[in-house]
Amino acid sequence: MLAKLKQGIVQAEVAVINGCSVLSSLRQRMPLRVSSPLYPVSEQTVSFFIMNPAAGLLQGDQHSIYVRVKENAQAVIMGQGATKVFRSPERNFSKQFTTICVEAGARLEYMPEVIIPFAESCLLSRTNILVSSQASVLFWEINAPGRSARQELFAYSKLDQQTNIYIDRELIFSDRFVLEPSIVPTELQSWNNHLGLVHDYTHTGTFWVINPNAEQELGYVVQRNTEAEEGYLEKIANKYGVLLAGTKLTKEAYCFRALGRNADNIQEAFKELWQIFRKRLFNQTAWPWRKY
């Protein structure tokens, strides 16, 4: 007998009240939950975790996350644990929908944990980021190939992910990644081939940066052989054993991609980038990282 379908929901709004960013509205339904708000740095930025007390996403489950950061508010959101996607013997997709809305003068930094698709799992993931041209968003997503400790690499049935970015209601970028490992010819399997999609690596990561001053403040990061920061991305890549590249989408938006052989290395590389971005874009010191 199949487990009962679970439709987890988080709908959270952050607003400024008396100079303090607060969770002004929250609706949540198990198995998704939101932690109590935290203020590890100052009252201007509220931080909280999105949690899943259940084991993970079973076939047919649907998780919907909606976060709205209102004008001039600031929020940092983290995931408490990895998103585990369990097997779907009937190929009934597990679904995850994320919508992020950030208004003028507001800022959202969203750092979920790694997605782990188990053998025979099917995941459909859609992320929509709607942001004012005068707002800021830092958001990353990291994928594992399966349970690496069990040598369960690319044994899932299908992974279908799409991210759409809107600035002032105009779609400026749509990124979709679809992989069905079982139908990929052996000679083209990217986890065994240097010419494949992930270049003989197993884990992938994408870091989106949207800020009105992105071009001015971050252009140097993606430049190579500059006098000020020669090969900056290469230095981080070598430090953590990952492959790392960045590109400008528009003057307000940048995208950074990472390939690695474990999730921790990609996350550490992204954390270093995150701290640099916070300093350059917001003139703020390093965030006191904590996972649990």
Residue 9 confidence (pLDDT): 95
82, 49 Cβ separation under 8 angstroms: no
Q: How many CB atoms lie within 10 A of CB 2?
A: 10
Residue 291 confidence (pLDDT): 56
238: CB partners within 8 A, 6+ apart: none
Phi/psi zone of residue 15: left (φ > 0), alpha (ψ -120 to 50 degrees), beta? beta
Q: What is the pLDDT of residues 228-249, one digit of tens each?
A: 445 778 889 999 999 999 889 9
Residue 77 confidence (pLDDT): 96
- In 3-state terms the chain splits into helix, strand, coil percentages (rounded to 5) of 15, 45, 40
CA–CA gap between residue 1 and residue 42 (Å, rounded):
49
Residue 187 confidence (pLDDT): 61
Residue 70 confidence (pLDDT): 98
Residue 216 confidence (pLDDT): 87
Q: Which residues of the chain have pLDDT under 50?
A: 1-3, 228-229, 292
Residue 4 confidence (pLDDT): 54
Q: What is the dihedral of CA 158, 193, 265, 45, to 10 degrees?
A: -50
Residue 288 confidence (pLDDT): 84
Give the total residue count for the chain: 292
CA–CA gap between residue 133 and residue 207 (Å, rounded):
18
